[in-house]
Amino acid sequence: MCSECYNEMDYLPYVVNRVIGGAMIYCAGIYEKNLQKLIRGLKYHNQPDLAYYLAKFMSGYWANITEDNDFQIVPVPIFEKRKKKRKYNHMELVGEEFSRLTGYVYNPNLVKRIKDTKPQYNLKKFQRAENLKDAFYVDQDALIPNKRVLLIDDICTTGSTFEEMIKELNKNGITDIVCLAATTPFGE
């Protein structure tokens, strides 16, 4: 990722993209061109060093949303089998870098994926919801008190992943949640 390519990535407006289960969802950019290449390289082409650039892009956007620093960063987890195959969870790497850039507490242990789900990209909205049903588990012991939850993910298409995580967090009495995705395929 050269500086020229990085600087060509545009932010979406600094507004709530949607609200799911009472949680505000923000999307930093549109899934196209260099941002799309960045995510694909990180996620599918064994380029973990790109996590820094995605975190930098997301934190640059996030800095325009809030100055609040009472967040614990919770990356979307992947199933252990998929993590072994990829050798890493790309969003955990992004979360670590996001934490360094923002000073927020990094908490990858709050939410676990306990179901081996299919990849979401070829599924319709109702299939995505069914695919993710009961896929997550909240470890109450990992919760950091007095810190809001900031869920982070790479792409927010229908919001099904965030929605299922929010539901599980809410079942455990955790309701102060905000979500940030690097991108959405739909623009505003």
pLDDT for the residue numbered 103: 95
Residue with tokens 């470890």: 139
Find, among 28, 8, 172, the residue nearest to 98 by Cα: 28
Residues 102/62, Cβ–Cβ less than 8 Å:
yes
pLDDT for the residue numbered 1: 83
Residues 25/16, Cβ–Cβ less than 8 Å:
yes
How do the pLDDT tens digits run along the chain, 188 residues long?
A: 888 998 999 999 999 999 998 999 999 999 999 999 999 999 999 999 999 999 999 999 999 998 888 999 999 998 888 888 888 999 999 999 999 999 999 999 999 998 887 667 677 777 877 778 888 999 999 999 999 999 999 999 888 899 999 999 999 999 999 999 999 987 54
C-alpha–C-alpha distance, residues 59 and 95, integer Å: 10
Q: What is the pTM of this model?
A: 0.92
Residues 56/28, Cβ–Cβ less than 8 Å:
no
What domains are there in the chain, each with its CATH number? 3-184 (3.40.50)
